[in-house]
Amino acid sequence: MTKYFKIAYWVFTVLFCAIMLYSANMYFYHYEMVKSFFESLGYPSYLIYPLAILKIIGVITILSNFNKTLREWAYAAFFFEVVLAFFAHYMVKDGAQDTAVVAIILLLISYLLGKKTGK
C-alpha cells in the first residue's frame, strides 16, 4: 500500500511543481503579458522577477528534500501564493482562478501524501 502512496506522492508533486515552473517560465519569458496581468490584479510589476526566482527555489526545495524544515516553509509559501492568486482572480472576476484551484488541490494532496509516506 505504501508503494502506491509513494507513486501518488511523486505524481502529484511533479504535477504541482510543473505548474509552478510553467508560471516562473511565463514570468521570465512573457514579462509584458504577465506585467499587464499583475497590474490588472492590482499588484506591482516589480514583484514578477522575485516571485519567479522564489518559485524556482521552492520547487528545488520540495523536489530535493534537502531539509525538512525548509520544505515545510516552501509548501507554506506556495500555499499562500496560490490561495492569494485564487482570491486575486476571483475578486477581479476575470475567470482565471481555475488554475489556482488545481494548484491548491495538487499542493494539498502532495503535502498530505508526503506526510503519510515520510517524505
> Between 117 and 78, where is the model more confident?
78
Q: Quick one: cell of 57?
A: 527555489
Model pTM score: 0.88
Q: Does residue 101 register a pLDDT over 70?
A: yes
Buried-exposed string 52-78: b where 16+ CB fall within 10 A, e elsewhere:
bebbbebbebbeeeeeeeebeebbeeb
Q: What is the mean pLDDT of residues 50-69?
A: 93
**What pLDDT sits at residue 102?**
93
Q: Does residue 37 register a pLDDT over 90?
A: no
Q: Can you tell me which residue has the cell 500500500?
A: 1
- d(C-alpha 54, C-alpha 56), whole Å: 5
